[in-house]
Amino acid sequence: MPSHTFQIDFKRSSKVAVADKKLKRALVSATDRFRAQRSLAVEGTQEWEEIKTRAREIKEHVIDNLDFYLEKLEESITKAGGVVHWARDGEEAANIITAIAAERGVKSVVKSKSMATEEIELNNAFERNGIKVVETDLGEYIIQLAGERPSHILAPAIHKTRDDISKLFSRKLGVPYYEEPEELTGIARDKLREEFLNADMGVSGVNFAVPETGTIVVVENEGNACLCTTLPRVHVALMGMEKVVPRFEDLSIFLNLLIKSATGQKLSTYVSFITGPKNILDNDGPEEFHLVILDNGRSKILADEVTRQSLYCLRCGACLNVCPVYRQVGGHAYGGVYSGPIGAIIMPQLMDLKGVYELPYASSLCGACKEVCPVNIDFPKVLLKLRSDFVKGREKGRRPGLSERMAIKLWRYAMEHRRLYEFISRIAYFAQMPFVERKGRRNGHGRIGSLPFPFSNWTRDRDFPAVAKKTFRNRWRELENENGDSEDKL
Amino acid sequence: MSREAKDVILASIRRGLKRFEKGRGESPAPPPTWNAGSLKHSYDEDSLTREFVEEVIKVKGHAEVTDSGEEILSFALGLFEEYGTNSCAMADGDFLESLSLAEHLESKGIGVVRPGSGDSVVADAGIGITEADYAISDSGTLVLLTNENNPRSFSLLPPVHLAIVKRSAIVHNIYDVMEELNSSVVKYEHPDQFPSCITFITGPSRTADIELNLTLGVHGPKALYVLVYGDKG
């Protein structure tokens, strides 16, 4: 029984988001910053294209042999003294983790940022079992206090202003209203330091897992993941099963690609390579290490040769920052786990939810995401495949109605017959007159905000660009003539 | 139950890949690791040191080159004064040992916490002192291998981190350091020889989660000091 509490209604939530001026400012400045930092880092890396290509080859290889590598990973981790668990779905993963906690009398858990734990709603599971769980990444901590969901893979609280956070802290933590980020960060440090020292169990995500050595890699800036994986006596890591890189040596290119794509840093402040629990002689580190390998729909993604590449994703977030849709609506509109272009392709494949099939349509197919992707995921291709699966009714979506299918057939016929198409364009140009909005009408950028039935469905959620006075062909011919003239004069 | 889940997952992977053989297949040959040969130059220790110091400063750390044990001691004493503390947690590095740094500090009335102390004792120390196993000049990164002499928490819990780096431990980039690690630790036969944790540290702990304002010291140290030592090449 799916126990999701996610709700996806992209059209409704994007309308709310677009109207939120504060959110829009925050989104634009955050995504602009990440983009600029990424570009600088990539420009400074002469081997960028080469390592991208190699990383893609390695990812293809890993997914093509995933059964082998996962068994090998289990073997290596077991050899290093850790325990590997397998979870078919989110509920099973949450049950495994809460059972590990319950069996060891764990009362409180500290968590570092992990999208996979968001995906399986681990915090709810802990709370249902009466176990206290505290998010320790500052952004996640803010979100947890506010009872919300992350809005960006890297910066989960970008939708919150410092005023929001000041009020939240004084309400929830009983501290005076501080406004400076340094002060707020200091409050969180003190509160969370106590949690770290008292926690019985630490939960982390996994950025990479290496079957060769049984090593998991955790990338972060705050140091909270180091603390989560060092201080409590039990460390549980949850990983989506695609996070494998075959060899220890391969980590160099993957870390390079992930970190530069994500924040533009040469290396993040902390990168931890964790191999099993503490060694016998070590003076600190957890006594137990558990890795939970999560399928939750990933084997289904792998079975489709077009969408399989969704599993190469490193979760860097670069595609969010360049996406014209994400930049307007933010992460919550996508349901609050994976957002932006990567959310649009993996959410419908991972989660069987009402509304999730709208997400592949939340894209103009501009391809900016494909361009910045460090493992060359062909987003437009995957989006189109998912749309087509949806329309063909292979997924549990709704087949489009008869009128929509007829309209598309007619459209296609007209597109294939130029004279008919031009004729219709002429008629449409005059027929649209009463509907075109005044603004931009003169310079050829007119828009139609609302059309009468049966076209009203089209304009309910978007404007329709007005049909231009001159067709592209006509303008082309004119331009050609002009150029021809000027060439004659030479 | 866990057995069953494993079998179901592996079977559905094989089904998805349209491979129907049962059990584990032959060990597949991955594409070659990327060869960083094109980026290899012969760097001398001086230029690596210079670049390393510059990069540490760029990521908001402090870095200096020192020539003698006395210099390191007086730098450390200066830090205790600056931060108004008289306690530290010190790892058991060979070089730190050879300087008798712990004895010198203790003689000045500074409490020195050694490996084996509890987390809360380490957390109360004013400065964590460690010796890095490697350093990366291109990114200003310290690489620390956990073992009985080098607990993870010493570079993490105290609010100030002072790291000592041997000049000869500095390599140019992440490819070089991974190559080093690969030829040393990965080859260990006994799992207990493999470090349970290898930590890469690039600057002091930081966050930008509040309106993208860079704030140092959110969970780890607020300040990072790096001293490079060793004879000039």
Contacts of A383 (CB under 8 A, 6+ apart): A341, A344, A345, A360, A363, A365
Inter-chain touch A86–B6, beta carbons under 8 Å: yes
Mean pLDDT of B79-103: 94
In whole angstroms, give the CA distance from residue A416 to residue A400: 22
Contacts of A153 (CB under 8 A, 6+ apart): A115, A315, A316, A317, A320, A331, A338, A339, A340, A342
User: Could you tell me which residues are beta bridge partners of residue A239?
Assistant: A293
- Separation in Å, CA of A284 to nearest CA in chain B: 6
Give B-chain residues touching A374 at CB under 8 angstroms. Answer: none
In whole angstroms, give the CA distance from residue B189 to residue A26: 51
Inter-chain touch B197–A274, beta carbons under 8 Å: yes
Pairing of strands A464-465, B215-216: unpaired
**pLDDT higher than threshold 80 for residue B113:** yes
Q: CA A175 → CA A165, A169, A179, B208, distances in Å?
A: 12, 7, 12, 21
Give B-chain residues touching A58 at CB under 8 angstroms. Answer: 30-31
- Put simply, whether A170 touches B (Cβ < 8 Å) is no
Tokens (6 digits) for A118: 């968001």
Find the range with the poorest average confidence among A104-118, B111-125, B189-203, B211-225: B189-203
Q: Which residue of A has its CA nearest to B224?
A: A269
Percentage above 90 pLDDT, chain B: 75
Inter-chain touch B218–A188, beta carbons under 8 Å: yes
- Judged by CB atoms within 8 Å, which residues 58-87 of A form the interface with B? 58, 61-62, 64-68, 70-71, 74, 79-81, 85-87
**pLDDT higher than threshold 50 for residue B233:** no
Mention the CATH class of domain A47-298.
alpha beta
Give B-chain residues touching A196 at CB under 8 angstroms. Answer: 219
pLDDT for res A474: 84
pLDDT for res A489: 46
- Separation in Å, CA of B90 to nearest CA in chain A: 13
Closest CA to A357 of A50, A2, A8: A8
pLDDT for res A439: 74
Q: Testing the interface with B: which of A103, A208, A249 to mutate, by most B Cβ within 10 A?
A: A249
Closest CA to A63 of A243, A295, A297: A243
- Separation in Å, CA of B6 to nearest CA in chain A: 5
Residue A328's CB is within 10 A of a number of other CB atoms, namely: 16
Residue B202's CB is within 10 A of a number of other CB atoms, namely: 26
Which of A58, A92, A185 faces B218 most closely, judged by CB atoms? A185
| Residue ranges of domains in chain B | 44-229
Q: Which fold has domain B44-229?
A: Rossmann fold (3.40.50)
pLDDT for res B162: 98
pLDDT for res A399: 66
User: Could you tell me which residues are beta bridge partners of residue A270?
Assistant: A220, B201
Mean of the per-residue pLDDT values of chain B: 92
Which of A197, A269, A276 faces B191 most closely, judged by CB atoms? A276
ipTM for this model: 0.96
- Separation in Å, CA of B45 to nearest CA in chain A: 21
Helix residue ranges, H only, chain B: 2-16, 45-58, 69-82, 94-99, 101-107, 119-124, 174-184
Give A-chain residues touching B142 at CB under 8 angstroms. Answer: none
Give A-chain residues touching B38 at CB under 8 angstroms. Answer: 47
At residue A125, the 3 state secondary structure works out as: helix
Looking at per-residue pLDDT, the higher value among B35 and A164 belongs to A164
| Residue ranges of domains in chain A | 47-298, 403-477
Give A-chain residues touching B123 at CB under 8 angstroms. Answer: 193, 197
Which parts of chain A have pLDDT scores under 50?
1-2, 489-490
At residue A212, the 3 state secondary structure works out as: coil
pLDDT for res A2: 44
Residue A83's CB is within 10 A of a number of other CB atoms, namely: 17
Torsion of CA A27, A31, A33, A34, to 10 degrees: 140
Q: Testing the interface with A: which of B24, B34, B59 to mutate, by most A Cβ within 10 A?
A: B34
- Put simply, whether A4 touches B (Cβ < 8 Å) is no
Inter-chain touch A273–B198, beta carbons under 8 Å: yes
Mean pLDDT of B143-147: 96
Q: Which amino acid does the sequence have at A165?
A: I
- Put simply, whether A471 touches B (Cβ < 8 Å) is no
At residue A161, the 3 state secondary structure works out as: coil
User: How many residue contacts between A and B have a Cβ separation below 8 Å?
Assistant: 270
